Amino acid sequence: MSSMAHSPSPTPPRDAPAPPAPAASVTASAGAPTASIPDRSALLRVLRDPQGGESLSLQAGGLTSADGRRHWPIVRGIPRFVPADDYAASFGFEWNLHDTTQIDSVQSTKVSEQVLRDKTGLGPDDVRGRLVLDAGCGAGRFAEVLLDWGATVVAVDLSSAVDAAARHVGSNPRALLVQADIGSLPFAPGTFDAIVSIGVLHHTPDTRTHFLKLPPLLKPGGTIAIWVYPDEGEYRRRLPWIPVTSRVRSRWFHGFCKVLVTWMRRHPRHPMSAWIQQIFPISSQSHGLENDMLDTFDGYSPRYHGVHGAEQVMGWFREAGLEDVESLPIATSVRGRRPRS
């Protein structure tokens, strides 16, 4: 990853640590099994009915809508607003298999922290004491960094990757893991001080549509930063393969990636390696063999693989009414701010 010298744009004044949205009220019913939620009643107040936006109550091991007609279970301490992984099943597979591969605290590196800095322009001073949404958290690599920086983090993923994330950050009282769809998030408008989404939105059915769901969730003056695949290089060369590779059973395709990446790393000067890299590019990030296996699988297995230009992405930010929109040095990393009034 290339380093970046960047001075973040102004962020809202830090009078006090931002509390979770107080307007939402989650109340515990008498006899409700609250043991499944380790002391997160305050954080649970940010959750709303994704259909009507009303507050929720904690009942019978889950969350119930105000009219009592809808119920969402809490499984292993994680509220589940979707019944299954849907189109994101490959992510549930990869992040539960490679749950520690990109976790800085496990690998004793700062790789994920540097990626977060480079692709959002944010640092500890921008999030400390603030409520941050990690939209598409995977195994929790960026949620862990944000927590280390002093943020309170709501980490969301459509897939069972939230279970992997919970193994790393679930014991932190400033973290709330939620399984939900970015297209129908269970939060009230104006909830978050900052939103980050790195390498996620291009894997939804419509990148622009899903992005536009996020800015309304910002508080006035709040910041959103995203990175999506640029329409260039290996991202573009992978695109024709997706209709084929995304249909292969995850375990089989992962085995293929493991064999291919291992062989190419052992034979970097073989003519076949150069030819394969041109037509079927594999990951080569200098972070180890396992990371390259993971990243190659990640690049080809999802059903959706959008590629975009920086001007296109900046246009979405302006369409959402955001201000101070800027393209960061990493291609298609864009940041903007919700107006203060």
- Residues, the chain: 341
Confidence (pTM) = 0.87
Q: What is the mean pLDDT of the chain?
A: 88
Q: Check whether 29 has a pLDDT greater than 70.
A: no
Q: Sorting pLDDT into bands at 50, 70 and 90, what band is 60? A: confident
253-267: pLDDT as tens digits: 999 999 999 999 999
Q: Check whether 190 has a pLDDT greater than 70.
A: yes
Give the Å distances, CA to CA, from 157 to 164, 177, 180.
Answer: 11, 8, 6
Longest dimension (CA), the chain: 69
Confidence (pLDDT) at 22: 34
Give the whole-angstrom CA distance, residue 205 versus residue 190.
25
Confidence (pLDDT) at 331: 95
121-160: pLDDT as tens digits: 999 999 999 999 999 999 999 999 999 999 999 999 999 9
For the segment 27-55, the average pLDDT, to the nearest whole number, is 65
Give the Å distances, CA to CA, from 21 to 134, 170, 333.
Answer: 16, 20, 28
296-338: pLDDT as tens digits: 999 999 999 999 999 999 999 999 999 999 999 999 999 999 9
Confidence (pLDDT) at 110: 97
Confidence (pLDDT) at 217: 98
Residues of CATH 3.40.50.150 domain(s) within the chain? 86-230+307-337
Confidence (pLDDT) at 39: 53
Confidence (pLDDT) at 15: 37
Q: Check whether 13 has a pLDDT greater than 80.
A: no
For the segment 157-180, the average pLDDT, to the nearest whole number, is 96
Give the whole-angstrom CA distance, residue 79 versus residue 48.
11
Burial of 16 (0-12, 13-18, 19+ CB in 10 A): exposed
The top-level CATH class assigned to 86-230+307-337 is alpha beta
